[in-house]
Amino acid sequence: MKLRYLSILLTLVLGSHCSAQVSPKLRTGYANPILDHVFTADPTAVEFGGRLYVYGTNDSEQYEHSEKNSYEKIKTLAMMSTDDMVNWTYHGNIPVGEIAPWVINSWAPSIVSRVEADGKTHFYLYFSNSGYGTGVLTSTSPVGPWTSPLNKSLVDAQTEGLGDCNVPFDPGAVIDDNGVGWIALGGGKCRIARLGKDMISIDSEFINPRPQHHFEANEMNYIGGKYVYTYNTDWQDHSDWELSDEIPTTCCMAYMTSTTPLDSMSWRYGNNYLKNAGDFPGFTYTNNHTHLHKYRGKWYVIYHTEMLQDDMQMADGGFRSLMVDEINVDEEKVHISPTDVTKKGVNQIQSLNPYIKQEAETAAATEGIKFEQGDKAGNMYVCRGKAFAKHGLPDESIILLRKVDFGKGSKKVSAMVKGKGLIEVRLDSVDSPAIATITSLGTDWEECMAKCKISGEHDLIFVMKGQVKWDYWKFKR
């Protein structure tokens, strides 16, 4: 009995230690969370050049300073993109505090884009300047460099016309089919206004769409000729609910619609489309924030949970991670059906092409990887290390990509690397033997090659050893 008890105890201890060092995506096939090497929250997204770019609050910045996520250290925003919804490229952080040194914090972005008179696509990224107001950054690239067109918030607590909306943060922006921009903001009380033609000014009065039990997490969409405003309900008792027969659950995501957004009385309540993560098995309660996006013919809801910190048993401080699942949106009736929070996530919508240049920071899952800012905005270098400041270094440093299509076959693989070390190439399982080894010996960047023989579709695994630093890779026929 004593031996059995000791065995169980050791299993629990060792099992806990192992799970604390292994990504929840590495051996499960899960697509959630989007990134497993950084804490992110409060999503927004924009499509450009066939890719979906997602942005969020950089919870990892708070994690590096505190055991609890109280948000006051966060002055950056995280960037990532995909073209298959499973393999994600990490573009690093937007250094909001450096770009706009007047900010208090930077949380909860909302991004829109529009082709302007110069023929370029301009990106307008609105963000919470703490709870005090809403700031804006601009760029002509989805990954920057970003600039601050104003030396203050676009809207703050001193802005006239807000009435009792004393916390004008958590912005949600949209550009309608006429090219006109709109913005919603506020905590506890919501306001909606039309943006100026320059997208960095307010060009109307602020109206109250009258969202009952409003908390925060404002976002806007334009669907089927209607403006769709989504928000997070509060944690209070909802027994006094008047907007529908169905009473929404606490801290869930709900929506309202209108065809005349500046008419406060025109907004009509829809329903609850995403309950709080804690209402689903295997998840804990946290705040709630979503972005709805149609990409390549499918509607997705991007949201956050505390799945990563919970599954990796790394912390219990409220550090969040972005997730994505499909959602049913009836564009004709403008109805959003409720969907579930899941660990499995979405299906991959296309195979990854190994015969074009792929950034090393692209992955479906990682372990023991850290990132350094590259030579230009949005480009990161990959090396071995701790993904999280307080997290132990695993035995192996791994990047896994799913459903890579080699077709009739590849004979070589190359990687742009520097430093002394090597990269093993494995197929289908992190535990499989290496089929190729790329060796790096130089102190300068060099394209190193290795022979290989691969055909068909496989999961592709790179295992880094030594002090190698990595920029990108490519297979050759």
* Res 313: pLDDT: 81
Whole-number Å distance between alpha carbons of 207 and 267: 11
Whole-number Å distance between alpha carbons of 310 and 284: 8
What sign results for the dihedral spanned by CA atoms 429, 433, 435, 441?
A: positive
Phi, psi dihedral angles at 55 (to 5 degrees): -130, 150
Q: 10 to each of 17, 201, 312, 320, 435, how far by Cα in Å?
A: 10, 61, 18, 30, 35
Q: What's the predicted TM-score (pTM) here?
A: 0.95
* Res 21: pLDDT: 55
3-state SS class at 266: helix
How many other C-beta atoms can be found within 10 angstroms of the C-beta atom of residue 275?
19
* Res 9: pLDDT: 33
Q: How many helices (H) and strands (E) does the chain have?
A: 4, 32
* Res 314: pLDDT: 76
The CA angle 67-71-74, to the nearest 5 degrees, is 105
H or E stretch including 241?
Answer: none
* Res 396: pLDDT: 83
**pLDDT tens-digit profile, the chain (477 residues):** 333 333 333 333 333 333 345 789 999 999 999 999 999 999 999 999 999 999 999 999 999 999 899 999 999 999 999 999 999 999 999 999 999 999 999 999 999 999 999 999 999 999 999 999 999 999 999 999 999 999 999 999 999 999 999 999 999 999 999 999 999 999 999 999 999 999 999 999 999 999 999 999 999 999 999 999 999 999 999 999 999 999 999 999 999 999 999 999 999 999 999 999 999 999 999 999 999 999 999 999 999 999 999 988 877 899 999 999 999 999 999 999 999 999 999 999 999 999 999 999 999 999 999 999 999 999 999 999 988 867 666 778 999 999 999 999 999 999 999 999 999 999 999 999 999 999 999 899 999 999 999 999 999 999 999 999 999 999 999
